């Protein structure tokens, strides 16, 4: 992975490049490195593979998002966020004709089964729900077959007619001139958009699209230990495919709301607790908050400010294993304010009773100071 060039650099585009800009850059780079066009260039094949690999990732919205977040490791994960069972649509062109003739090869398949689009849903959950796991129900919209026309796009009682331009094939022959001479290429028929059918009386509900926007309800089981930014998938819950094609997937992006007390670091939790000067000096048993409620924990005698106490097994459940992380509690020794005269006098008496050996840090500092003046 370390030796791979940045995919955006390979195609010569910026990270904000649109899908169309990525596609144009790919065609240009593919022409410049295709082995058939550079037979004497031994490195052309490797460059061509590199260009195709970059385009396969950057042309796919989900793979591109994982690449932007995780680098070269991202697209090779089981799916977004690293969970297994994630799907995705592959990018890339299928033949040299796609490179030279603006993707005609892909258009030729429009009359056959086509995979449905993947969908994204952003699901917000609480800190506790992420830590302990939960079941969440949510609503989302997707395009589905129009019930009024059964997906034909034609008004009820009518049927689409065979296209008289392509005679129902969905394709037309187009001659073009290239560096190889004249090439006859098959392209999608513009009269019927490659379907082979023409709708003269469109369905009023879907306006001839054969699809309508529908609201659906889904339930997902959130595993204990999931973190902010991770992604789950519901296979086949995306938009239904065209012409009996498979449905896409529904990607659920998890957004964990922050907690008022705890900060998370992997499976470990961190928090701060204020204690009094007396508790720090004499030691004490204090109540420490956890995700399962307060627990008793002993503050050792002589505890210093910013000391960290470790509570084993009081963190977040391991997402891909057993057990839990730990809770790290930083102790903040609070100096009292607005003391009464009597309290001040007692503190002066206490200070006068000390020999100086009780303050290890101050004694060490004074010793180093004396040594510095010798």
347-372: per-residue pLDDT in tens?
Answer: 899 888 887 777 766 656 556 666 66
Residues 285, 300, 338: CA angle, nearest 5 degrees: 70
pLDDT over 60 (residue 320): yes
Which residue has better confidence, 317 or 245?
A: 317
Is 86 within a domain? no
Q: In this predicted model, what pLDDT tens digit does every residue of 15-41 receive, in sequence order?
A: 888 888 898 898 888 888 877 677 777
Q: Output DSSP code: residue 336.
A: P
Lowest mean pLDDT among 16-20, 36-40, 316-320, 321-325: 36-40
Using CA atoms, how far apart are residues 309 and 212, in angstroms rounded to an integer? 58
Which residue has better confidence, 154 or 89?
A: 154
Co-location of 224 and 269 in the same domain: no
Is 339 within a domain? yes
Co-location of 241 and 269 in the same domain: no
pLDDT value of residue 32 = 85
Map tokens 């699809």 to a residue: 211
Last residue in a domain, options 222, 256, 290: 256
Is 81 within a domain? no
- Overall average pLDDT of the 317-321 stretch: 84
pLDDT value of residue 366 = 56
What is the domain range of residue 310? 263-373
Co-location of 225 and 195 in the same domain: yes
Which residue has better confidence, 18 or 256?
A: 256
Instruction: Provide the number of structural domains found in the chain.
Output: 2
pLDDT value of residue 373 = 64
- Overall average pLDDT of the 75-85 stretch: 47
Co-location of 105 and 242 in the same domain: yes
Residues of the chain with pLDDT > 90: what percent?
41
Co-location of 126 and 181 in the same domain: yes
pLDDT value of residue 267 = 94
8 A C-beta contact, residue 207 and residue 197: no
Last residue in a domain, options 256, 282, 312: 256
Map tokens 């989302």 to a residue: 140
Lowest mean pLDDT among 314-318, 338-342, 344-348, 360-364: 360-364
Lowest mean pLDDT among 56-65, 118-127, 332-341: 56-65
Using CA atoms, how far apart are residues 242 and 204, in angstroms rounded to an integer? 20
Is 33 within a domain? no
H or E segment and range at residue 362 = helix 360-373
State phi, psi for 221 to the nearest 5 degrees.
-90, 115
Is 26 within a domain? no
Provide the edge-to-edge strand list for the sheet that holds 268-276: 263-265, 268-276, 327-334, 308-311
pLDDT value of residue 258 = 96
Task: Tell me the CB-side half-sphere exposure of residue 315, using CA atoms within 13 A.
Answer: 27
Q: In this predicted model, what pLDDT tens digit does every residue of 114-145 receive, in sequence order?
A: 888 899 999 999 999 999 999 999 999 999 98
pLDDT over 60 (residue 146): yes
Return mean pLDDT, the chain. 83
Is 324 within a domain? yes
Strands 284-288 and 250-256: unpaired
pLDDT value of residue 80 = 41
Map tokens 């290239």 to a residue: 178
State phi, psi for 71 to the nearest 5 degrees.
80, -155
Which residue has better confidence, 110 or 127?
A: 127
pLDDT value of residue 302 = 92
Co-location of 147 and 185 in the same domain: yes
Is 172 within a domain? yes
Question: Which CATH number goes with the domain that contains 181?
Answer: 2.60.260.20
DSSP string, 33-56: H-GGG-TT-TTHHHHHHHHHHHHH
pLDDT value of residue 89 = 36
Co-location of 190 and 249 in the same domain: yes
Co-location of 247 and 290 in the same domain: no
- Overall average pLDDT of the 97-118 stretch: 57
Co-location of 251 and 362 in the same domain: no
Q: How confident is the model at residue 77 (pLDDT cuts 50, 70, 90)?
A: low
Co-location of 222 and 295 in the same domain: no
Burial class (CB in 10 A: 0-12, 13-18, 19+), 370: exposed
pLDDT value of residue 98 = 47
Co-location of 232 and 276 in the same domain: no
Q: In this predicted model, what pLDDT tens digit does every residue of 200-250 receive, in sequence order?
A: 888 999 988 888 999 999 999 999 999 999 999 999 999 998 777 889 999
Rg of the chain over Cα atoms, rounded to whole angstroms, equals: 33
Last residue in a domain, options 221, 256, 291: 256
Is 70 within a domain? no
305: its two tokens: 């400010």
Strands 211-222 and 231-234: unpaired
8 A C-beta contact, residue 123 and residue 255: yes
pLDDT value of residue 103 = 45
Co-location of 197 and 154 in the same domain: yes
Q: How confident is the model at residue 97 (pLDDT cuts 50, 70, 90)?
A: very low
pLDDT value of residue 216 = 94
CA-wise closest residue to 276 among 336, 346, 320: 336
pLDDT value of residue 245 = 82
């Amino acid at each position: 992975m370390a030796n791979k060039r940045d995919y955006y650099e390979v195609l010569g585009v910026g990270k904000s490049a649109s899908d169309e800009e990525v596609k144009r850059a790919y065609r240009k780079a593919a022409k410049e490195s295709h082995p058939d066009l550079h037979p004497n260039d031994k490195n052309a094949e490797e460059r061509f593979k590199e260009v195709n690999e970059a385009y396969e990732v950057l042309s796919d919205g989900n793979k591109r998002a994982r690449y932007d977040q995780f680098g070269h490791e991202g697209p090779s994960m089981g799916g977004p966020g690293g969970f297994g069972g994630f799907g995705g649509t592959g990018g890339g062109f299928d033949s040299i004709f796609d490179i030279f003739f603006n993707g005609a090869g892909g258009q030729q398949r429009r009359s056959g089964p086509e995979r449905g689009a993947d969908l994204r849903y952003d699901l917000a959950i609480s800190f506790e729900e992420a830590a302990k796991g939960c079941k969440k129900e949510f609503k989302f919209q997707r395009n589905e077959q129009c019930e009024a026309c059964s997906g034909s796009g034609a008004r009820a009682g009518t049927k689409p007619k065979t296209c008289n331009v392509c005679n129902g094939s969905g394709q037309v022959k187009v001659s073009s001139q290239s560096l190889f001479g004249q090439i006859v290429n098959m392209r999608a028929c513009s009269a019927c958009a490659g379907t082979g059918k023409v709708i003269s009386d469109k369905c009023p509900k879907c306006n001839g699209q054969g699809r309508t926007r529908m609201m659906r309800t889904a339930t997902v089981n959130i595993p204990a230990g999931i973190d902010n930014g991770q992604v789950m998938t519901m296979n086949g819950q995306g938009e239904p495919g065209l012409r009996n094609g498979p449905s896409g997937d529904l990607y659920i992006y998890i957004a964990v709301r922050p907690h008022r007390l705890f900060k998370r670091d992997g499976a470990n939790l961190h928090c701060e607790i204020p204690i009094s000067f007396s508790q720090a000096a004499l030691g004490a048993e204090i109540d420490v908050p956890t995700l399962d409620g307060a627990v008793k924990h002993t503050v050792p005698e002589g505890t210093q400010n910013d000391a960290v106490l470790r509570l084993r097994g009081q963190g977040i459940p391991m997402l891909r294993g057993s057990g839990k992380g730990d809770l790290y509690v930083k102790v903040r020794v609070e100096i009292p304010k607005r003391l009464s005269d009597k309290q001040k006098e007692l503190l002066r008496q206490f200070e006068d009773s000390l020999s100086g050996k009780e303050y290890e840090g101050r004694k060490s500092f004074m010793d180093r100071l004396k040594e510095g003046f010798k």
